[in-house]
Amino acid sequence: MSDYLPIVVLFVLGVLFAGLSFLASGLLAPRKRPTAAKLAPYECGIVPDREPPQRFPVRFYLVAMIFIIFDIEIVFLYPWAVVFRSDLHTFGLIEVLVFAAAVFFSFLYLVSNGALNWGPAKHLRPAMPERTTESTIARVGPGQGPGAGQAA
Amino acid sequence: MGSLLGLGDPLYAHGVHWVELLIVVIKVLVAFGALLVSVMLMIWFERKVISDMQARVGPNRAGPWGLLQTLADGIKLFFKEDLLPERADRTVFKLAPYLSILPAFLSFAIVPVGGLVTVFGHRFELQVADPPVGILFLLAMSSISVYGVMLAGWSSGSKYPLLGSVRASAQMISYEAALGLTVTMVVLLAGSLSTRAIVEHQSHTFFGSWYLIHTGILPFFLFMIAITAELTRPPFDLVEAEQELVGGFNTEYSSIRFALFFMAEFMNTITMSAIVVTLFLGGPDGPTPHVFILSWVVPVLWFLGKTLVFLFIYVWLRAALPRLRYDQLMDLGWKVLIPLSLGWVLVLAAFLVGRWWGVGVMLALFAAAGLLFRSVMVGSERDEAIEAPGAPEPGATPELGAPGMVR
């Protein structure tokens, strides 16, 4: 365990550094004079009208859940990688190929379900059903545009 | 067990007495000081190089060539009013900077800076710590730093920090998967997690024995992309995309709390550059004259030189590349980097077993790439099909693909 001793010392030093920085800042900084404007959430000068727990897209949760699949895969790969060259050879390779295939096919399922699509939402809907390309072009054609009456 | 997982620091071979403890404390203090000074210089370096690339002068007032500009900025931040936003979750808001800076400090501990040194009969490694878990410690620390960013944004009780932090966490965990997989390749070759062992394995011949060559060059680029995204540095800096999110997760932070976040960011940049050097470029490996003091100073210089190259590359990327869009970023991470790195791990393992295994797995990989491509196509078609009936116009019953449809 003595290998971890320097890490513990570094941890203590890091905490001390951050703590002393706060202490020094507390001593050196001007007295706090909070005003309502200073304490309000930053909103480019507009008074915020929403509650603090903001909404954000559910896809972020989805990514976090999918990440767990890969994280667990990686957790299994590390011990395998350490002993692969010395002990496992062909047996280890076949094992990991089967394992990777299982992960890969579930990944394919996710991708083909669109679980990882982040693109701008593609709304495939008519903007104005009565207006087609032909009608729009016809309306701004010569003699029919907004300036047509004035020119005549 | 010790020989299998790592060599271990010879310092602790005879137990830990006060002399060893003293050496540890000195090592830690030196590393700590070096890290702080290098952060200071790195910030100056980045500003100066960027301004040179943009034909500006850059910082030039404080100290020679503006070298002390960062120090001046840091001192200024000490004298600033420390605000706690009214809607902030006070405990978490105060905790978040610690969660950000401590992993940044700790992850540097595993970087091998030089070779072995003997001082007054005590032989030790020029490396703060050499734990058997080595590189896993780095991955653990980079996972913890996600908490710092996430909690900072969440606890601010404000819109921009929240958006910045959810983006940051999604981005960091996405690229962490690719990062973990590329590191697996190095572990596969070295057969050890200890960074010291990884460096020793690469130290036979200059350049030729580096894992840059042995892993097949591609993993190095995958790793570079993954850590640039992991550090949320340009072109992957959507976390603090100024044009959209003001300052990202640290918008509400002021005074010394902001300074700690800023320092953590640059410290991570330095550490990750050092990690690239360790994993792929042989760390302190290089031609070394075996003359008394030079035999341990020159490897350190090699290490510093290689790290500096990567620090420059980061600055260069920032100056040269425009920021990615968020969906491009996620597509790159999930649909390119992760499958590619997973496939390369398998190919590498297969080539370690035998040439024909390697060729076979490589062919299987092409088939898998085809499947993946098809899945992506199906996924994007499905996305459109789901979106289509989402917002029907009142009184209109459009058919898909009819004229007048807009996307």
Domain range annotation of chain B: 2-324, 325-382
Residue A78 lies in a domain: yes
CA distance B25 to B395: 77
pLDDT at B1: 35
**Residue B189 pLDDT exceeds 50:** yes
- Phi-psi domain of B125 (left: phi exceeds 0; alpha: psi -120 through 50; beta: other): beta
Structure tokens at A30: 């001007």
∠ CA B13-B17-B23, rounded to 5°: 80
Please name the member of A28, A44, A97 whose beta carbon is closest to the beta carbon of B79: A28
Residue A97 lies in a domain: yes
pLDDT tens for residues B83-128?
A: 888 777 888 888 888 888 899 889 988 888 887 777 777 777 788 8
Averaged pLDDT for residues B18-39? 87
User: Could you tell me whether strands B122-125 and B405-406 are parallel, antiparallel, or unpaired per DSSP bridges?
Assistant: unpaired
pLDDT at B182: 92
Is B68 touching A (CB cutoff 8 A)? no
Average pLDDT, chain B: 83
pLDDT band at B405 (very low <50, low <70, confident <90, very high): very low
How far is residue A37 from each of residues A44, B77, B86, B244, measured CA to CA in Å?
11, 21, 10, 22
**Residue A56 pLDDT exceeds 80:** no
Predicted ipTM of the assembly: 0.79
Averaged pLDDT for residues B343-359? 89
pLDDT at B271: 92
Instruction: Please tell me the least confidently modeled range out of A61-70, B110-119, B175-184, B342-351.
Output: B110-119
pLDDT at A33: 80
Q: Are B300 and B114 in contact (CB under 8 A)?
A: yes
Residue A4 lies in a domain: no
Output A112 or B294, whichever has higher pLDDT.
A112
pLDDT at B316: 92
Residue A9 lies in a domain: no
Contacts of B398 in chain A (CB under 8 A): 125-126, 129
Question: In chain B, what's the furthest Cα-to-Cα distance?
Answer: 90
pLDDT tens for residues B146-164?
A: 888 888 888 887 888 888 8
SS3 (DSSP) at A106: helix
pLDDT band at B404 (very low <50, low <70, confident <90, very high): very low
Averaged pLDDT for residues A51-76? 81
pLDDT band at B249 (very low <50, low <70, confident <90, very high): confident
CA distance A105 to B372: 9
Predicted TM-score of the model (pTM) = 0.83
Half-sphere exposure of B73 (CA within 13 A, CB side): 19
Output B355 or B241, whichever has higher pLDDT.
B355
Residue A22 lies in a domain: no
Half-sphere exposure of A1 (CA within 13 A, CB side): 1
Q: Are B288 and B294 in contact (CB under 8 A)?
A: yes
SS3 (DSSP) at B208: coil
- Measured N-to-C along each axis, helices B294-320 and B18-53 cross at an angle, to the nearest 10 degrees, of 40
Contacts of A100 in chain B (CB under 8 A): 342, 345-346
How many domains does chain A divide into? 1
Please name the member of A77, A89, A126 whose beta carbon is closest to the beta carbon of B404: A126
∠ CA B17-B20-B24, rounded to 5°: 135
> Which residues 6+ apart lie within 8 Å of A96 measured at CB?
A77, A80, B346, B349
Residues 57-86 of A with CB under 8 A from B: 59-60, 63-64, 66-67, 70-71, 73-74, 77-78, 81-86
Length of chain A: 152
Bridge partners (DSSP) of residue B116 are B125
